[in-house]
Amino acid sequence: MANGHGGYRRPSKPAVVSGPGRLSKRTDGGPSQGGVPLPNAKYGENANFQSIERGAPMAADAGVPAPVPLTAPTARPHEPVTAGAVLGPGPGPGAAQTMAQRSVSDVLQMVAENDPTGQVGDIAALARRSGI
């Protein structure tokens, strides 16, 4: 009983041993996202690149946001559906251009209306006192 590890240990991989021929199964846990060699690498660059890549393991679906269901509640409850359109309530297509003409404190105050923490309101008040 070396190091407190005695007796049967269940393998963490899917199969202990592989069967013969068409009954064979993977014993390594399945495919994973492996390292990609650096194309057109100079002498020694590929080894350095792969050591950096191994230091930051990647998930198979990294960078892909989860889809939002169509029935999910809106993230902007106070914005009309027609915001950005030529007709209907809400800001029109030129709203982004007029934002550049507003002061920082005015923009922060608009953002503060949807901030439940109140922290953006505090920053807006500080910007107003500073004159920006």
Q: What is the pLDDT of residue 30?
A: 57
Q: What is the pLDDT of residue 16?
A: 64
Q: What is the pLDDT of residue 42?
A: 85
Report the amino acid identity of residue 58: M
Interval 80-104: pLDDT, tens:
888 888 888 888 777 666 656 778 8
Interval 34-80: pLDDT, tens:
667 778 888 888 888 888 777 766 555 555 667 778 888 888 888 88
Q: What is the pLDDT of residue 93?
A: 78
DSSP-derived secondary structure letter, 28: S
Of 108 and 33, the one with more pLDDT: 108
Inform me whether the pLDDT recorded for 12 exceeds 80.
no
Q: What is the pLDDT of residue 3?
A: 58
Instruction: Give CB contacts under 8 A, 24+ apart, made by 56-63.
Output: 58/33, 59/33, 60/32, 60/33
Question: What's this model's pTM, rounded to 2 decimal places?
Answer: 0.29
Report in angstroms the alpha-carbon separations of 5 from 11, 13, 15: 13, 18, 21
- The residues near 59 (Cβ < 8 Å, ≥ 6 apart) are 33
Of 5 and 2, the one with more pLDDT: 5
